[in-house]
Amino acid sequence: MPRSDNRLPLILDAAARLFREKGYAATSMRDIAAAVDMLPGSLYYHFTAKEDLLVAVYEEGVRLITEKVRAAVARHAEPWTRLEAAAVAHLEALLKTGDYALVVIRVLPQDVPKAAARLVKLRDGYDRLFSELVAELPLPPETDRQSLRLLLLGALNWSQHWFRENGRNSPRSIARSFLKLLREAQKP
Partner DNA sequence: CTATAAAGCAAACAGTCGTTTGTTCTTCTT
Partner DNA sequence: AAGAAGAACAAACGACTGTTTGCTTTATAG
Which residues here bind DNA, judged by CB under 7 A?
1-8, 27-31, 37-46, 48-51
The contacts of residue 88 (CB under 8 Å, 6+ apart) are 72, 171, 172, 175, 176
Smaller CB separation from DNA, 21 or 51: 51
Smaller CB separation from a second copy, 75 or 180: 180
Smaller CB separation from DNA, 40 or 125: 40
Smaller CB separation from a second copy, 108 or 117: 108
Distance (Å, whole) CA 155 – CA 149 = 10
* Terminal CA-CA length for the chain: 61
Q: Are 158 and 90 in contact (CB under 8 A)?
A: no
Smaller CB separation from DNA, 4 or 146: 4
Measured between alpha carbons, how far is residue 39 from residues 35, 36, 52, 90 in Å?
10, 9, 18, 36
Cβ at position 179, least distance to a second copy in Å: 10
Which entry of a second copy, DNA, none binds 21, CB below 5 to 8 A by partner kind? a second copy
Cβ at position 7, least distance to DNA in Å: 3
Cβ at position 48, least distance to DNA in Å: 6
Which entry of DNA, a second copy, none binds 44, CB below 5 to 8 A by partner kind? DNA
Distance (Å, whole) CA 56 – CA 168 = 35
The contact set with a second copy (CB under 8 A) reads 21-23, 25-26, 108, 110-111, 143-144, 147-148, 150-159, 161-162, 174, 177-178, 180-186
Cβ at position 35, least distance to DNA in Å: 12
Which entry of a second copy, DNA, none binds 8, CB below 5 to 8 A by partner kind? DNA
The sign of the CA dihedral 108, 111, 115, 117 is: positive
Cβ at position 46, least distance to DNA in Å: 6
Q: Are 18 and 50 in contact (CB under 8 A)?
A: no
Distance (Å, whole) CA 13 – CA 169 = 27
The alpha carbon of 162 is separated from its chain's Cα centroid by a whole number of angstroms, namely: 16
